[in-house]
Chains A and B, each alone.
Chain A
Amino acid sequence: MHAPQQDEKDIIMRCRNGESDAYAVLVDRYRSLAYTVACRMLGDAETANDIAQESFLSAYEGLRHFRFGARFSSWLTSIVLNKCRDHLRSRRPTVGVDEIAEIRATGQRDPEQEAMAGECVDAVQKALNSLPPDYREAVILKHIEELDYQAMSEILGVSIPALKVRTHRGREMLKGLLERSGVTP
């Protein structure tokens, strides 16, 4: 077991024994991970913040079921992605190519939208939003979180060959969306 995992095991044991303050170390360590994944999956900073916080709370409540052989970060990421999927089911799934082109053409963001959605509102995000959720999460884990297929398979519970297909197709779709919107030549 690696040192961080041993350290995390101690923290998780303390949390299980009622020392909830120890959990702050894990929240600090993985808040950017949870927030980034949620932001890229949802394209809305405010909602992503809520989803990331809920994910940490769910993880805390489920700590007694955590397997010590696994990585806490992988487990947390799978919780974040599950919550994102639940959220996506209840809202508009895609953004049109024209909308992406408009963002690129004007070269600036709507100030109100900027204030509301923060960093997530950009052309790449709009293209990501247009990907099917299965492809989107594969591309995010591969190219933003820079995970290998083994780690992705542990998080998503999907076979490595299937994940390769999703990632490849996701990249192709992303390339096409960015080209049509004028973001890439």
Chain B
Amino acid sequence: MKKENENIHRLLDGDVPAAEKDAIIRQVQDDPVLRKEFDDLSNAVELLEREGRMHPPLAFTASVMRKLPRPADPFPARLRRFLFGGRVLRWNMAAALAVALLTVVTALLMMTQLTHITRNAASPDFPSGEPAAMVRLTFVAPDARNVAVAGDFNKWRTDSHVMTRENGTWTINLPLKPGMYTYMFIVDGEHWITDPSAESYRDDGFGYQNAVMRVSL
């Protein structure tokens, strides 16, 4: 770039010290070629500067602010939103049926488990969890001092299952596995009495009749 042209650009840049400025302006005005060059460049710059600043759409700021990343909420706020914030549940028929099926299966499993637990809780003699039924035996003997029951279920021990008196009636609850059992009452520790209200009877081989009970679940 020639020195004269460089001076023109320095003028347009506003980059000329006051001491030099007048001399350069005179040089440009005196030379028709330089003057035309200066005028043309000035026109181009003027057209450019005339445009000035442009204005973006009115929603510009709002649009930028909407796109800003949301700051992370403190933990209590997140917990509150998690617990109490509203949610929209979207569902379809297949998912609803699957949930219904799962609910029914779970309920059945819980009922089975609950029955199992109840039976086990009422059957301390069967801690292994085998199913058992609770059988209630009653025997009317208002004059007796004590009554016990002996049978297959306790290997005919006379002291392990003592009955309880309730107004002249003696009762006992026996947890028994399903099956058939023979038994007799022992009154005051010495009198073997057959249950008069038994379902059936069987000879014991010693001239007496054992009472028979069938236990089922």
Binding site for B on A (CB under 8 A): 18, 20-21, 23-24, 27-28, 31-36, 39-40, 49, 52-53, 56-57, 60-61, 119-120, 122, 124, 128, 139, 142-144, 146, 149, 164, 167-168, 171-172, 174-175, 178-179, 183-185
Contacts and interface: CB of A to CB of B under 8 A. Distances in A.
Contact of A60 (B6, B15, B40, B68): B68
Contacts of B43: 175, 178, 184-185
Most chain B CB within a 10 A radius of its CB, from A35, A40, A167, A175:
A175
A175 B42 CA distance: 9
B47 interface: yes
A57 B68 contact: yes
A13 B40 CA distance: 48
Contacts of A34: 56
Contacts of B44: 171, 174-175, 178, 184
Contacts of B56: 31-32, 34-35, 49, 52
Contacts of A24: 61, 65
Contacts, number: 104
Interface of B: 1, 6, 9, 12-13, 15, 40-41, 43-45, 47-49, 51-57, 60-61, 63-65, 67-72
Contacts of B57: 49
20 contacts: A18-B71, A20-B68, A32-B56, A35-B54, A35-B55, A49-B60, A52-B56, A53-B67, A60-B68, A122-B51, A139-B48, A144-B48, A146-B49, A164-B9, A164-B13, A167-B13, A171-B9, A175-B41, A175-B44, A184-B43
Nearest to A142: B13
Nearest to B65: A24
A61 B48 contact: no
Contact of A179 (B13, B40, B64, B72): B40
Contacts of A20: 65, 68-71
Nearest to A173: B44
B209 to A, nearest CB: 92
A62 to B, nearest CB: 12
B3 to A, nearest CB: 13
B63 A53 contact: yes
Given A24-B61, A27-B64, A171-B45, A144 B13 contact: no
Contacts of A27: 60-61, 64-65
A180 B54 CA distance: 26
B120 to A, nearest CB: 58
A181 B29 CA distance: 26
Contacts of B70: 20
Contacts of B55: 32, 35
B49 A144 contact: yes
Nearest to B67: A57
B53 to A, nearest CB: 5
Given A27-B61, A32-B54, A53-B63, A124 B71 contact: no
A160 to B, nearest CB: 10
B18 to A, nearest CB: 17
B45 A143 contact: yes
Contact of A143 (B1, B48, B67, B68): B48
A184 B46 CA distance: 11
